[in-house]
Structure 1
Amino acid sequence: MCPVTTTTAAGADGLTKVYGEGEARVVALDDVTVDFHSGQFTAIMGPSGSGKSTLMHCVAGLDTPSSGRVRLGEVDLSGLSDDQLTAVRRDRVGFVFQAFNLLPTLTALENITLPLDLAGRRPDPALVDAIVAAVGLGDRLGHRPAQLSGGQQQRVACARALVTSPDVVFADEPTGALDSRSSAALLALLRRGVDEFGRTVVLVTHDPAAAAYADRVLFLADGRLAGELTEPTANRVLDRMKTLERVA
């Protein structure tokens, strides 16, 4: 596991997100302040409807807070135009979602390097080779997504998120569509992204076994922070989740 650092890769101050109005009004996040440390793997957990994915989407710049401030490094996202925000997401953030979001007409290698191509940047051959080796699909790089298993496709998506050397990789339930073996391979790859490539990873998950790959686990309940756990194990995470669900 990586040591805790004091450098903040991303974070939020007084983050509130409200959907709807009147009787349909839902407070998804309620005055959340949190930091995600550089070079650290953080998992976010909580009961259904606790605000896990909303927190990630706001911090990643995919959703707009109702109030509060979101930071990516020293950049305040609330002060950016749409074009500036798009550039920040493209250049400084990596995403891995439950849906693989690979382009079917491109090979695995072309999908991995696609963010660099879109940004007009030349790939670093050494970094690409290192990430391809970590993915473990060196003999499948010429195959299109339809020729790959679900687990292989998700590993391609993970490599794509790492190849731009982002400040933060956000992963939202990335193992939800995978079997246990493929899930373990993907989580190990995210862990290697932290340990070997110095990335910062933020993972939303409902699975205590997945959270055990992290350096720390943040817990949400009813849109508020409900504690954290360092050096997590699956059993410790499960016990904390049972407590939160009983309270909920």
Structure 2
Amino acid sequence: MNGVHPTEGDQVARAEELTKAYGEGEARVLALRGVNATFHRGGFTAVMGPSGSGKSTLLHCLAGLDRPTSGRVHLGDVELGALGDRALTRLRRERLGFVFQQFNLLPTLTARENILLPCGLARTEPDPDWLARLVGLLGLTGRLDHRPAQLSGGQQQRVACARALVTRPEVVFADEPTGNLDSHASADLLRFLRRSADELGQTVVMVTHDPSAAAWADRALFLVDGRRRHTVQDPTPAEVLRVMRELSAVPEAA
């Protein structure tokens, strides 16, 4: 952690009273219940909570992968709910980056080709200096001509990170990005996400259940039963564990 927190003037994205319901009648489930959150340029936020707390649902709504039942999501001055499906797809492609637990690399493409895939889809030319910087930071210089099957899990996830950042997105959304990695590869990945915020000014929103992973972030937001219940600035593993224990003992509000 760098100890410097982004300011209100750096606001990149925000959620206002987000509610997400699935099903109808007696089968209706509220995954999010009036969640508010703001994200700033260069900030690294961990979203935490027990299974079923709404972590991934919040990320999916923020990223335009799912539409909330009510409430609003803004990316800059654009409200995502006002966009049609085609415009929303274009916004995700041009302004957002994604890193998931599954690497989602195309097996027939080299690492370089996988990294550059978003540029091809957007029909834009990659910035060679930016690409070289990403590849260098991620330690992939000697692996660009390898296909995914020739790479370790950690290397594949670093390729996925480079792919997420190659278009210089406004926000990178990471959903359990260390879930399929060993401890060494996880630390390498988290170190890069930390450096991308500190050195590249990248905004990162990461869903995780791992207190050690959350400790790399500037802050940790805690959800319980679809509600935002707590925030910790400059989290440590011990502090995250303490809050999780306390929140697990708090009954759901009426």
Q: Counterparts of 1:8 and 1:74 in 2: how far apart (Å)? A: 10
The equivalences for 1:14-25 within 5 A come to 14-25=17-28
| Counterpart residue number, 2:184 | 181
Could you say what secondary structure the match of 2:200 adopts? coil
| Counterpart residue number, 2:209 | 206
1:4 Cα deviation (Å)? 2.1
Could you say what secondary structure the match of 1:99 adopts? coil
| Counterpart residue number, 2:84 | 81
Q: Counterparts of 1:54 and 1:3 in 2: how far apart (Å)? A: 25
| Counterpart residue number, 1:100 | 103
Q: Counterparts of 2:102 and 2:194 in 1: how far apart (Å)? A: 20
| Counterpart residue number, 2:7 | 5
Q: Counterparts of 1:101 and 1:161 in 2: how far apart (Å)? A: 11
Amino acid at match of 1:147: Q
Q: Determine if the alignment matches structure 1 residue 65 to structure 2 residue 68.
A: yes
Amino acid at match of 1:3: H
| Counterpart residue number, 1:151 | 154
Residue-by-residue CA offset, 1:42-78 (whole Å, 9 max, x unaligned) = 0000111110000000010000100111111110000
The equivalences for 1:11-50 within 5 A come to 11-50=14-53
The answer for unaligned runs of 5 or more in structure 1 is: none
Match of residue 120, structure 2, among 117, 121, 140: 117
1:3 Cα deviation (Å)? 2.6
1:104 Cα deviation (Å)? 0.6
Residue-by-residue CA offset, 1:133-190 (whole Å, 9 max, x unaligned) = 0110111110000100111100100111111100000000010011111111111111
Could you say what secondary structure the match of 2:137 adopts? helix
Match of residue 131, structure 1, among 122, 130, 134: 134
1:247 Cα deviation (Å)? 2.2
Residue-by-residue CA offset, 1:194-217 (whole Å, 9 max, x unaligned) = 111111000000000000000011
Q: Determine if the alignment matches structure 1 residue 171 to structure 2 residue 184.
A: no
1:193 Cα deviation (Å)? 1.0
Q: Counterparts of 1:71 and 1:117 in 2: how far apart (Å)? A: 26
Percent of pairs identical after alignment? Answer: 63
8 Å CA contact 1:5, 1:39 repeated in 2: no
Could you say what secondary structure the match of 1:229 adopts? strand
Amino acid at match of 2:223: L
Q: Counterparts of 1:64 and 1:211 in 2: how far apart (Å)? A: 26
Could you say what secondary structure the match of 1:78 adopts? helix
Amino acid at match of 2:6: V
Amino acid at match of 1:148: L
The answer for unaligned runs of 5 or more in structure 2 is: none
Could you say what secondary structure the match of 1:103 adopts? coil
Structure 1 stretch 6-15 or stretch 118-127: which is displaced more? 6-15
